[in-house]
Amino acid sequence: MIPLDLSLADVPSLPVHAARLLAKEGVKTVADVVWHLPFRHEDRRHMQAMAFQAGPLPSCHHVLVTKTGNKFFGGRSGVFEAVVRHATGLLGQQLTLKWWNMPFMSRVIAEGQELIVYGVIKDSKGRLSMSHPEYEIVKGGADDDAEQIHTGRITPIYRLKGAMTQKALRVAVWHVCQALPVSFVDDLLPTPSAEGEFAGQTRALALREVHFPSSMEKLEQSRRYLALEEFYGYQLRVARRKRRVIESGGRKQIGTGELLRDFFNELPFQLTTAQQRCLDEIHRDMASGAPMNRLLHGDVGSGKTVVAFAAMLRAVESGRQAVLMAPTQILAEQHARNARKWLEPLGLRVALRTGQTRQTSPTGQTEIVIGTHALLHDAELMHNTGIVVIDEQHKFGVAQRAKLIRKGDTPDVLVMTATPIPRTLTLTIYGDLEVSTIDQKPRDGVKIVTKVRPKTKLKDAAKFLREQIEEGRQGYIVYALIDESDKLEAGAATKGYEEWSKLLAPCEVGLLHGRMSAEEKEDVMKRFRAGKLDALVATTVIEVGIDVPNATVMFIHDAGRFGLAQLHQLRGRIGRGAHMSYCVLFVDDKDEENRQRLAIMEETSDGFQIAEEDLRRRGPGDVLGHAQSGQAPLLFGELLADTRLVRLARQLAEKTLDEDPQLLRPALATFRDEPVIAEKAQAMMQ
Ligand code: ADP
Ligand code: MG
């Protein structure tokens, strides 16, 4: 029996050199080794008894060394070669093992030894060779391992630091696993169920299996168990936070109904059934004693803004203030303008606060405050806040949201997003929120026709846009360089602006990008909105929220650079009025791959379908696979693939909170990275 904090140097039979090598890189104790998890495994179980064969895949062989020698090429370069044949084979087939620039291998590998080797075999003119194979001396070596640790099994592959080697680490893990008692750590999970998938499973067994799996099935089962544990730690936090918010006690905001009545009387349209249903859910939350914590979820153009305004009016009717935060200045200004149009006639004061503008009404409490994240730095504006609304919430960090909410006095909180989220991710990203979905668009009749076209068709497109302009419509022309600086992006748009001004002359063309001053931006938007500009050349600053119903055309340059979800957001700027709308995605002439990828945009304008296709194409492993990044906070779980586990974890977490408080503390301690996970999950959706 050895304790987890035992120094590696004291683990029985662990070679001294391995312990020393690992200690240098900070892997010093038994626990350090146990938690140094492999990021993948190689199946080296099947020894190839038959011929050596060249090919792209590595293979595993039991061989006998017949000849060794160093060859030097001058200077420091050279190769150590060991000629081997099958240890059991009858054939005289030969294979040359090669170690480049490692002359000291002559002291390790010697004639007459038996090795297990694993690697890729190459064929050069009939001569077979394997460079830098993984090997194990099974007979005749100086320190021949009685067990096969590196080969002849499902072998763990670890991420290495500094001078560490796979072999030293693997040997250490092996001896630690041998020395540890069967149950060397306590379980964190409440026993999920006596039978079923996890019957008999424990944390200690699962960890062992992850290092040295006894079968592929056991490995996967253990990964799932540890993933469940991970999700459980996360859901425990989320569920606990949700309960705390409820228990913290909010205020009932019931209102008189007068402002809302006047508002709806003035509104030029009727709410859709879906909007009404969501609004009812929101008002019900607000009227209850517990603070509201709700997500209003609806595809682009589903009409979230009016619903938000109606929620804000309920707070004002109840004698409190309403605050709305948007991610960009342009969007905040658009909201402020709507608020002035719709709410000032009801006798309400509207204040706007962005990075550049600061307009506060002169005296008394402002009922409606609208702004960007600049609000976070402005304490005086917020006063007796009854509701905080966060638009396009995916554009904000978890911390920014929390900060704004804290500024209010246990306000009701409504966050809004158009990002379509698969059900499973909802539990992770929004596990502490109630969700209302606007699943219907105000004008289902209006269609957007989307086409993917090669760049060479630009002239035709210009002609088409001109025809639309002659009919009184407007258009957006989007330039963007993903991952490039604002400056380069602005440059591309500026160049595009010159080009399009010529192409469309004498129509009026405007330019909008992130490097312009607040006044310039607002001025351009004002002229575009008023119809004084026929077309707007812009960067992705127009991506979120902009609402100009008369715009019916959108051209997107280099559409291949965008994710489908972002294209969907961009396209959401058109098809907002009564007119048929058109979106053209330009790709490089021979870019077949992107033509295919973007085809889904031609087929559907359903954001949910597009998001699923996007995720499917990228593949869950690609998005957040634990193998991908050494820093990934999730070691075992794959948020997209392990749907069922996420749900199970939530159930277990609720159960623990209800009846098992002594499990709470250790489980919470294992999982400290909650915001990171939430941000990650969210990043997947963009
Ligand atoms: P999003 O959900 O993308 O934020 P908006 O709130 O900007 O959508 O609404 C899109 C457009 O639809 C706006 O011009 C808005 O005034 C209009 N709109 C919203 N609700 C309705 C409705 N029930 N009937 C007609 N038009 C509506
Ligand atoms: Mg919006």
Note the pLDDT of residue 630.
Answer: 31
DSSP 369-421: EEESGGGGG-TTT--SEEEEEETTGGGS-HHHHHHHHHHSSS-EEEEEE----
What pTM value is reported for the model? Answer: 0.70
Residue 80 has pLDDT above 90, yes or no: yes
Quickly list H helices, 249-397.
258-266, 273-287, 304-317, 329-342
* 576, 581, 605, best to mutate for ligand 1 pocket (most atoms within 8 Å of CB): 576
pLDDT band at 629 (very low <50, low <70, confident <90, very high): very low
Ranges 598-602, 603-607, 630-634: which has the least confidence: 630-634
Residue 82 has pLDDT above 90, yes or no: yes
Judged by its nearest atom, the ligand closest to the C-alpha of residue 307 is: 1
CA of 441 to the centre of ligand 1 (A): 8
CA of 267 to the centre of ligand 1 (A): 11
CA of 304 to the centre of ligand 1 (A): 7
Say if residues 529 and 562 touch (Cβ distance below 8 Å). Answer: no
Atom of ligand 1 nearest to the CA of 298: 2
| Cα 641 to Cα 425: distance, rounded to the nearest angstrom | 10
Atom of ligand 1 nearest to the CA of 577: 14
Ligand 1, atom 20, lies closest to the CA of 303
Report the pocket of ligand 1 as residue ranges, CB < 6 Å: 269-272, 275, 298, 300-306, 418, 442, 545, 547, 549, 576
Q: What percent of the chain has pLDDT over 70?
A: 86
CA of 321 to the centre of ligand 1 (A): 24
* 547, 552, 574, best to mutate for ligand 1 pocket (most atoms within 8 Å of CB): 547
Ranges 107-116, 453-462, 477-486: which has the least confidence: 477-486
Among 562, 578, 579, smallest CA distance to 570 is for 562
Note the pLDDT of residue 635.
Answer: 62
CA of 417 to the centre of ligand 1 (A): 14
Atom of ligand 1 nearest to the CA of 271: 23
Note the pLDDT of residue 631.
Answer: 33
Judged by its nearest atom, the ligand closest to the C-alpha of residue 573 is: 1
Residue 627 has pLDDT above 50, yes or no: no
Dihedral class, residue 319 (left if φ above 0, else alpha if ψ from -120 to 50, else beta): left
Residue 351 has pLDDT above 50, yes or no: yes
Judged by its nearest atom, the ligand closest to the C-alpha of residue 569 is: 1
Residue 534 has pLDDT above 70, yes or no: yes
pLDDT band at 612 (very low <50, low <70, confident <90, very high): confident
Residue 116 has what DSSP assignment? E
CA of 304 to the centre of ligand 2 (A): 6
| Cα 134 to Cα 121: distance, rounded to the nearest angstrom | 12
Judged by its nearest atom, the ligand closest to the C-alpha of residue 301 is: 1
pLDDT band at 400 (very low <50, low <70, confident <90, very high): confident
Ligand 1, atom 25, lies closest to the CA of 442
List all residues 6 or more positions away from 45 whose beta carbon is below 8 Å from its beta carbon.
60, 152, 153, 154
